Amino acid sequence: MRKITAAVAVFGIVFSVWAVEPQVKKTAKPIVLNKTSFTEKVFDYNNESEWKYKGDKPAIIDFWAAWCGPCRQVAPVLEELAAEYGEEIYVYKVNVDEETEIARAFGIQSLPTILYVPMTGTPQGVLGAVPKSQLKKAVDALLLNKGEEK
């Protein structure tokens, strides 16, 4: 009888610990875009004259280059944001050395350039490496319409 009681107690403890473990959010990662995927997922700049975002959730687009020091500083922060926001936003990356046509179409002259792309309306950009706190504020305000918490 003691063995059965002990087994049930152990099973109950294991099950209760498993049941209260927080569910892990699906970890999203930045998505690298080339010309084809950019025109499919973001905007067909060759055939459209007015901006219309094609995505199903807001996005950040990071225009970067491998030789750019500030771009390398921002990259891990964007990976963290992609993981933290999970299914709420996309984080896209465009290598301007490989995708010069996209960079020209958007007039990218400084790196990194980060565009905040809401579901409707015009994208807003920021130049240079900015801290994670500033990126999060912009995502919350511009993309997710979350007011500042007081």
Q: Known catalytic residues? A: 68, 71
Rounded Cα gap, residues 51 and 120, in angstroms: 10
Residues 78 and 30: beta-carbon distance below 8 Å: yes
Residue closest to 100 by CA, chosen among 84, 115, 88, 111: 111
Planar angle of CA 106, 111, 114, nearest 5 degrees: 60
Burial of 42 (0-12, 13-18, 19+ CB in 10 A): buried
Rounded Cα gap, residues 119 and 57, in angstroms: 6
**Which residue in this structure is represented by tokens 């152990």?**
10
